[in-house]
Amino acid sequence: MTEEQMLAGSIKKNATAQEALYARYSPKMLGVCYRFSKSREDAEDMLQEGFIKVFSQLHQYRNEGALEGWIRRIIVHTCINIIKKNKKFNDTVDISNAAFLYQREDYIPSILQAKQIVECIRMLPLGYRTVLNLYAIEGYVHKEIASMLEIEESTSRSQYTRAKAMLEDILIKKKIIDKPGAKISFALP
């Protein structure tokens, strides 16, 4: 079934078309959810809720850009909404020490398996993990992240800086990298 057929059928609530659309995009979107969640079960819940939104909003897709990108945006926003519902970010940020943060390079190691990186990212505290995912992987700017998470832009920046530092420490402890400042690619699925 072509993407156009899946799209048209899904808009008409055709179960076969919806199953085909879900089968095509759910594996990648589960990877997105997995990076934001604490467990596979939580990721699967996020995915299901996200696809409910996808199917209910599919009639709004205007063929401007890739369908996969449109679905991904809904999935990311669903993950953020679930996280916000369960935890406030302002409670997890110690902004008083932000001026004393050690500034590290904007890059961390490079030749790693995506799975290793995801596992290390998932070890970060919720606020750090969320901001790192949104900024470094999903490509949002701090102003957008602040708006999405209902935090200050400076909070987003400090959480990102701290997340990078903590991730680097985790990677060193797990012997994935051997020194600070190594380069890592955040181009994950």
pTM of this prediction exceeds 0.85:
no
- Are the C-beta atoms of residues 148 and 80 closer than 8 Å to each other? yes
DSSP state for residue 90 in the 8-state scheme: G
- Options 1.10.1740.10, 1.20.1440.230, 3.40.50.1220, 1.10.3720.10; CATH for 3-86 is 1.10.1740.10
Q: What is the pLDDT of residue 177?
A: 73
* Between 120 and 153, the higher pLDDT residue: 153
Q: How far apart, in whole angstroms, are the C-alpha atoms of residue 67 and residue 58?
A: 10
Return the CATH class of domain 89-173. Answer: mainly alpha
Question: How is the chain split into domains, by residue range?
Answer: 3-86, 89-173
Enumerate residues 6+ apart whose C-beta is below 8 A from 12: none
Q: How far apart, in whole angstroms, are the C-alpha atoms of residue 30 and residue 7?
A: 20
- Predicted confidence band of residue 186 (pLDDT cuts 50, 70, 90): low
| Least confident piece of the model among 17-31, 120-134, 164-178 | 164-178
SS in 3 state form for 95-145? HHHHHHCCCCCCCECCCCCHHHHHHHHCCCCHHHHHHHHHHHHCCCCHHHH
Q: What is the mean pLDDT of residues 112-116?
A: 63
Q: What is the pLDDT of residue 51?
A: 97
